[in-house]
Amino acid sequence: MTEYSGGGDPKRSLELLWGVRPRPRRGPKPRLTAEEIVRAAIALADAEGLDALSMRRIADELGVSPMSIYTYVPGKAELIDVMVDRAFGELAPLGKGFEEGTWRARLERIARENWALFHRHPWMLQITTVRPPMGPNLLGKYEYELRAVDGLGLSDVEMDSVVALVTGFAESSARVSVNAAEAERRSGMSDEQWWESVAPLLDTLVDEADYPLGSRVGAAAGQEYSAAVGPGHAFEFGLARILDGVEALISSR
Amino acid sequence: MTEYSGGGDPKRSLELLWGVRPRPRRGPKPRLTAEEIVRAAIALADAEGLDALSMRRIADELGVSPMSIYTYVPGKAELIDVMVDRAFGELAPLGKGFEEGTWRARLERIARENWALFHRHPWMLQITTVRPPMGPNLLGKYEYELRAVDGLGLSDVEMDSVVALVTGFAESSARVSVNAAEAERRSGMSDEQWWESVAPLLDTLVDEADYPLGSRVGAAAGQEYSAAVGPGHAFEFGLARILDGVEALISSR
DNA sequence: CAATATAACGTACGTCGTACAGAGTTTCAT
DNA sequence: ATGAAACTCTGTACGACGTACGTTATATTG
CATH topology of domain B104-251: Tetracycline Repressor; domain 2 (1.10.357)
Ranges of beta strands (E only) in A101-192 are: 127-128
Judge: B234–A187 Cβ closer than 8 Å, yes or no: no
Q: Which CATH superfamily is domain B3-88 in?
A: Homeodomain-like (1.10.10.60)
What pairing do the DSSP bridges indicate for beta strands B127-128 and B3-4? parallel
For residues A79-97, give the mean pLDDT. 87
pLDDT bracket for residue B2 (50, 70, 90): confident
As a whole number of angstroms, the distance between CA B142 and CA B9 comes to 23
Has residue A8 got a pLDDT over 80? Answer: no
The domains of chain A are located at 3-88, 104-251
For residues A203-220, give the mean pLDDT. 95
How much is the pLDDT for B253?
A: 84
As a whole number of angstroms, the distance between CA B8 and CA B64 comes to 23
- Residue A45 CA, nucleotide C8 C1', distance (Å): 41
Q: Which residues of B, range 28-87, sit inside 8 Å of A by Cβ?
A: none
Has residue A243 got a pLDDT over 80? Answer: yes
Give the lowest-confidence range in A42-46, A87-91, B18-22.
B18-22
Q: pLDDT tens digit string along A24-38?
A: 888 999 999 999 999
* Higher-pLDDT residue of A153, A226: A153
Q: Which of B132, B33, B223, B118 is nearest to A222 (CA)?
A: B132
Intrachain domains B3-88 and B104-251 with the same fold? no
How far is C-alpha B217 from the chain's CA centre? 30
How much is the pLDDT for A94?
A: 65
For residues B16-45, give the mean pLDDT. 93
How many other C-beta atoms lie within 10 A of the C-beta of residue A116? 14
Q: pLDDT tens digit string along A95-143?
A: 666 767 899 999 999 999 999 999 999 999 999 998 999 999 999 999 9
* Higher-pLDDT residue of A170, A12: A170
Q: pLDDT tens digit string along A167-179?
A: 999 999 999 999 9
For residues A139-152, give the mean pLDDT. 96
Cβ B84 vs Cβ B58: under 8 Å: no
Ranges of beta strands (E only) in A153-220 are: none
- Residue A62: CB less than 7 A from any atom in strand D: no
Does the CB of B156 have a partner CB in chain A at under 8 Å? yes
A-chain CB neighbours of B150 within 8 Å are: 213
Judge: B2–A2 Cβ closer than 8 Å, yes or no: yes
Q: pLDDT tens digit string along B104-142?
A: 999 999 999 999 999 999 999 999 998 999 999 999 999
Could you give the residue ranges of the DSSP H alpha helices within chain B?
10-18, 34-48, 55-62, 76-88, 103-120, 136-147, 156-187, 191-205, 212-224, 231-251
* Higher-pLDDT residue of A123, A231: A123
Using CB atoms, which residue from B10, B182, B248 is nearest to A244?
B248
How much is the pLDDT for A218?
A: 95
- Residue A22: CB less than 7 A from any atom in strand C: no
Using CB atoms, which residue from A216, A217, A245 is nearest to B241?
A245
- Residue A32: CB less than 7 A from any atom in strand D: yes
Has residue A228 got a pLDDT over 60? Answer: no
Judge: A241–B240 Cβ closer than 8 Å, yes or no: no
Query: What pTM was computed for the model?
Result: 0.94
Q: pLDDT tens digit string along B148-206?
A: 999 999 999 999 999 999 999 999 999 999 999 999 888 888 888 889 889 999 999 99
Has residue B228 got a pLDDT over 60? Answer: no
Has residue A161 got a pLDDT over 80? Answer: yes
A-chain CB neighbours of B11 within 8 Å are: 201
Running DSSP on this structure, what letter comes out for residue A3?
A: E
Q: pLDDT tens digit string along B81-98?
A: 999 999 999 997 765 667
For residues B23-36, give the mean pLDDT. 91
- Residue B67: CB less than 7 A from any atom in strand C: yes
